[in-house]
């Protein structure tokens, strides 16, 4: 086993996780972990699907509207304020 972790240690870790999160949340945690690992591997390999969409949408959006700043009126404070 990697890192010197054997079957008894894995069972203890699984038992602790089961006690902390409960049996109802374990399938969701496993799914989230698998999705995160898949996204990480895809990003390492350069297979980013999410990055391609915003670039294409930004090109189709057209020119952005430019807003100019308006001057701010400043008034002097009187000693009573």
DSSP assignments along the chain, one per residue: -GGG--HHHHHHHHHHHHHHH-TTTHHHHHHHHHHHHHHHHHHHHT--STTHHHHHHHHHS-PPPP-PPPPPP--PPPTT-
Q: What is the mean pLDDT of residues 59-67?
A: 66
Read off the pLDDT of each residue in 43-60 and give the average, rounded to a whole number: 65
Interval 17-39 mean pLDDT: 91
Structural domain contains residue 76: no
Q: Establish if 4 belongs to a structural domain.
A: no
Q: Which domain holds residue 27?
A: 22-47
- Classify residue 41: in a domain, yes or no: yes
Domains contained in the chain, number: 1
């Amino acid at each position: 086993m990697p890192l010197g972790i054997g079957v008894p240690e894995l069972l203890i870790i699984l038992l602790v996780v089961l006690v902390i999160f409960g049996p109802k949340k374990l399938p969701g945690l496993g799914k989230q972990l698998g999705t995160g690992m898949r996204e990480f591997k895809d990003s390492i390999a350069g297979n980013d699907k999410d990055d391609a969409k915003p670039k294409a949408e930004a090109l189709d959006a057209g020119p952005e509207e430019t807003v100019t700043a308006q001057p701010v009126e400043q008034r002097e404070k009187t000693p009573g304020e």
